[in-house]
Amino acid sequence: MNYGVATYKKIIGALSLVIAILLISNYSALRKLDMVTRIAVEDIETIEEPVFTQPAPDIIQDATKAILLVIDDFGYRNDSVSDRFLNLPIPLTCAVLPGHSQSASIAKKALKSGKEVIIHMPMESSVSMTGEDEFKLKVGMTSEEIEWRLNEALKEIPEAVGINNHQGSKATTNGKVMGVVASVLKNKNKFFLDSRTSSKTVGEKTMRSVGVLTARRHIFLDNDLNIDNISKQLDKHVALAQKKGMAIGIGHVKANTIKVLEREIPILLEQGFEFKFVSQVVD
């Protein structure tokens, strides 16, 4: 069969279009996969820095200048970076995510290193986030499901003396969710640290209403992982500790965070600051 030049051009044009569509489709799929993988590894929620309408209570009444450091996201890794945090010569509260391959081992390792362990309990965010879905506490769940998930996390990490929220800008604003959490913690004699990922959180208020020991986060050290900005946040943390007698800061298991802490902690100790576990100041 004899085809003209025009026909061949049409066939080649059509094939070129199909190939272009397939290339774009494959790139898009790979890009989505890459983004999902990145989110699963980092699992970072955009954190709202609340403006406190009331000052934090002066828990420490003496002249001590107490700095409390909580390091979130243990469980993702068990490597030289996490070891450097565990080797810091101060009381350190390690918040361990449940459900990861390193969760149980790093909790045991932290306790053996003389650190305090709490559960970094996954809670629903106001934006869509992936990770820890089998443990995440969500608005709309039954009380039984919330209670079961929290108890499973406590079973996996029995070293924990309390919990704080991982993400949770939606769940911590819900009275039912926090009420069930408070009930479980009360029965288990565990404390609650409100990470305050939303200024509308009812976590601290709910815990106090039922007699669960609690405290609030004052500073996030490393929302921005630039070393200079981490240093500035630590300076704010120190200034608040000087003013109030104590301050709780939250950081993450990140290389730049440990670089700043390793550099600054010896200086702060020389200046007379004391480091404490969160369990020493909850009320």
- The span from the CA of 55 to the CA of 58, in Å, is 9
- Please tell me the predicted confidence (pLDDT) of residue 13: 61
Burial 210-247 (b: 16+ CB within 10 A, else e): eebbbbbbbbbbbeeeeeeebeebbeebbebbeebbbb
- Please tell me the predicted confidence (pLDDT) of residue 128: 80
Mean pLDDT by 10 residues, the chain (283 residues): 56 59 48 36 41 40 79 95 98 97 97 98 90 92 98 98 97 98 98 97 97 97 97 98 96 98 98 97 96
Per DSSP bridges, beta strands 274-275 and 93-96 are unpaired
What 3-state DSSP class applies to 137? strand
- Please tell me the predicted confidence (pLDDT) of residue 133: 86
- Please tell me the predicted confidence (pLDDT) of residue 12: 60
- Please tell me the predicted confidence (pLDDT) of residue 9: 60
Question: In this structure, is the dihedral angle defined by the CA atoms of residues 104, 109, 114 and 115, taken in order, positive or negative?
Answer: negative
Dihedrals phi, psi of 122, to nearest 5 degrees? -65, 130
- Please tell me the predicted confidence (pLDDT) of residue 129: 82
- The span from the CA of 272 to the CA of 267, in Å, is 9
What 3-state DSSP class applies to 89? coil
Instruction: Select from 59, 75, 97, 65 the least CA-distant residue to 279.
Output: 59
- Please tell me the predicted confidence (pLDDT) of residue 32: 40
